Amino acid sequence: MMKLSLVIASVFTCAGCNSHIARQPDDFLVGGDISMLTKIEKLGGVFRDRGKRRDFLDIFKAHGGNCFRLRLFVAPDGKNAVVNDLPYTLALARRIKTARCKLLLNFHYSDTWADPGHQTKPAAWAKLPFDDLEKKVREYTAATIAKFKQAQALPDIVQIGNEITPGMLWPDGRIGGRENTDAQWNRFTRLIQAGIQGVRIGSGEGSKRNVRIMIHIACGGNWRKTKWFFDRLIARKVPFDIIGQSYYPWWHGTLDNLKDNLRRTAMAYGKDIMVVETAYPYRDRQAWKKNAKSKNLVWPISPDGQRAFLSDVVRAVRETPDDRGIGVIWWYPESIPVRGLRVWNRGATALFDSQGNALPAVKAFRTKPSPDASGITRKDTP
């Protein structure tokens, strides 16, 4: 009887630890950040697959798509692409959930873009003392998540901040450079913790936690910087589930750099990992050749080259050791040219051509690991 009790105790203890079970094939998350989809459609954008006009989500699902990311600004001005307020985002989230897809919600904690060059506090929060700012992050996050839950659109994954390699909510939560101090790291992680607490409060989760927490940085091909960041985050006991990385080869290194970082990250931290932003151009070859990091654009700048790139990235993530690579999200796949909107890279990195026709790359989401891939435990390896 004592042995049985010990077994039961160990099972419940392990249920809360960082154990890992190999996933089934359809558990690998693939899709896109489709935050501009509603606006593009309202401005006349349409999408087609094999010549037939279809719902955007249906096209993705037909090619294996099962997860979509949405960003959320606090009080956006509505100009150009800065439209993602709560009502807009909530409506699109319900559409994703109705399509039976996974939802990844991305809190920017800003009125506009938050990224390695900009982590500006919302205007309404700008003059708050630090303790009040921490409280505001918690309360805002909790209230937002509660509204998603009430709308039956509770996210499956929540990002606490966007590309927060240099911190968030500057200057209070800025890290790195002159701010690479224990005091600043402690303030930064207090803000992260407040966001995580807000997710738990808003979702009403107790010991059973269905909403997974992602920490997203922007150095997919840089192990040294990844280690610098997560060593310090983990030392401060920040509880999270998934490491998110951005990987654009013109900024973040070669495919081998990405593979090396995925391998080292999985071995060092035992966390699931997603490439949560990636993209590659299918046209405008001459313009991209002028890019300062064009030496890393080794795939042809063509529809087939774009497909090869995405296939290589999906395969690299799926072959992450110990089955820790769990997904790939394409950045702004819906960015077709429409009147009244400036789209990123003039639409050259969309997964649809200028007329809204699906490009070959949408088929690359189904890419499988190599049969001879070493160091992986995935059940669905051919």
Q: Which of 134, 163, 319, 334 is catalytic?
A: 163
- Beta-carbon count within 10 A of 327 CB: 25
Both tokens of residue 44? 């006349």
- Say which of 41, 139, 179, 277 is annotated catalytic: 277
Token output for 199: 């997710």
Residue 158 neighbours by CB distance under 10 Å: 29
Measured distance CA(102)–CA(374) in Å, rounded: 29
Task: Answer yes or no: 334 catalytic.
Answer: no
For the chain, give percent helix, strand, coil, nearest 5.
40, 15, 40
The angle subtended at Cα 199 by Cα 154 and Cα 11, nearest 5°, is: 90
The verdict on whether 179 is a catalytic residue reads no
HEC readout, 119-171: CECCHHHCCCCHHHHHHHHHHHHHHHHHHHHHCCCCCCEEEECCCCCCEECEC
Cα–Cα distance, 257 to 251 (Å, whole number): 12
φ, ψ at 358 (rounded to 5°): -60, 135
Q: CA triplet 75, 79, 81: central angle to 5 degrees?
A: 90
Residue type, 164: I
Q: Where are the alpha helices (DSSP H) in the chain?
A: 2-15, 37-42, 56-62, 86-98, 130-150, 182-203, 223-235, 249-252, 255-269, 285-289, 303-318
Retrieve residue 22's tokens: 């190999």
From CA 20, how far away is CA 321, in angstroms rounded? 12
* CA distance linking residue 85 with residue 197, whole number of Å: 22
Query: Is the C-alpha dihedral spanning 126, 127, 131, 135 positive or negative?
Result: negative
Report the catalytic residues: 163, 277
